[in-house]
Structure 1
């Protein structure tokens, strides 16, 4: 088994975590670390939950592309919403960027995220042939 840490140049870099971790074996499994709605500089995008969700999904898609994958390879998404945020607003924003790729999904409402200004965080698991 080989483990490759993915940190695309167009995403914010942080030495404390990888944007994705690719596990190669019979199939490759990609674990995308928690993605907030951050721009390449690491700043949270303005505008609230909708824009943050859209950017977090774009960040997930960027990590997927780095591994040669896309939404069709994702087998699981975990969505963490800060308390008080609208699940419906998050779903609507997600549909605009993610498209028609249903996957196993977990949505959790949490008291707060690691970044106080973040309203959403996404994790993804993808299997790549």
Structure 2
């Protein structure tokens, strides 16, 4: 079981994150590439950080499900904002999503960086992450994906 905690001797988290997360043996770490607020057709979900962040979290959830995982398997998120003016919208989206994902708390670690900009001006938020999935599940899914790729090539 993934363990998340905030030990005594340091200030409590100032937002929705845990100071420490421990991944037990028998888990594979899955890296989630930086996600933008793009809909499945590649169009931007909206012009603001809240809309883009909500779509990013939806995309992360879809990616996790494809790996046989869910938000409970997230161990780390890293949020990048294209300016401090996007902090509030991103926070609102995180609060809304985390209320559903973690109704009892126990959040993954999370860092936020405010940058001068992202790869294009219309992008306000980018989030990447890491999940820990029981090795058996990750291996079975990877084998299934490989088989799917082989079947498509035939």
Instruction: Quickly name the TM-score band, shorter chain normalised.
Output: 0.7 to 0.9
Normalized per residue, the structure richer in strand is 1
Residue 116 of structure 1: CA displacement? 2.2
Aligned pairs for 1:106-117 (under 5 A) are 106-117=111-122
Aligned to 1:123: 128
Q: In structure 2, list runs of 5 or more residues that go unmatched.
A: 1-24, 135-154
Bigger helix fraction: 2
Structure 1 CA distance, aligned partners of 2:122 and 2:112? 19
TM-score normalized by the length of structure 2: 0.63
Gaps of 5+ in 1: 1-24
In the alignment, what sits opposite 1:105? Answer: 110
Q: Which runs of 4+ in 1 moved over 6 A?
A: none
Aligned position for 2:60: 60
TM-superposed CA distance for 1:103, in Å, is: 1.0
Aligned mates of 1:82, 1:111 — CA distance in 2: 6
Report the count of equivalent residues: 105
Q: How far off is 1:97 after superposition?
A: 2.0
TM-score (norm 1): 0.75
